[in-house]
Amino acid sequence: MSLPSDSVEPTEDGPDLRPGKLLAGRYLVEELIGKGGMGAVYRGLHLELGEPLAIKFLLDSGNATIRRTRFRREAVALARLRHPGIVSVIDFGEEDGELYMVMELVHGSTLGELVGSSELTLARTLDIFDRILQALEAAHAQGIVHRDLKPANIMVLDSEDGVDHVKILDFGLARLDDGTGPRLTATGAVQG
């Protein structure tokens, strides 16, 4: 996963100690590439394979137990999904009490960045939405509902073939309809 560089925010709690950190003996944390309400995403490197990747860390705020459960649920949801229109999870773990998720690194622009640009014609918009709907259909077929779909959570990938490929990101508020586990959002509560 890759986020636009203008979405990078400095940490509020002092210097960022994550760059240079080694996770599970094989993932090197490099630079911060994006930060949202639930997590911070870093560019990383799989040392054994030499492959770039994205590493998402859970931010420590609010109700830690519920946030940790949601973060795990996002990892499980993404790991279950195998679709070209949904960002793939490679690994999940905990290091020094900090949860992290390793994902594919994607490059492009968010749909939000493209909205209103002259590059976004009606035909291109319809093609992008068709691809988004195909990815959502695959998620729903596995009992996974995104619940936070917005232009900022959809990447339109850089492409050399002239075809718009999309990746849906951030399943942090996803609901897994597998009949197990408690509901983490109270009825009437607003998330996002």
Catalytic annotation, residues: 148
Q: Whole-angstrom Cα distance, residue 156 to residue 149?
A: 14
Q: Which residues contact 166 (CB under 8 A, 6 or more apart)?
A: 85, 111, 128, 131, 132, 135, 154, 155, 156, 157
Separation in Å, CA 93 to CA 35, 96, 155: 19, 10, 25
Which residue reads 């690194």 in tokens? 105
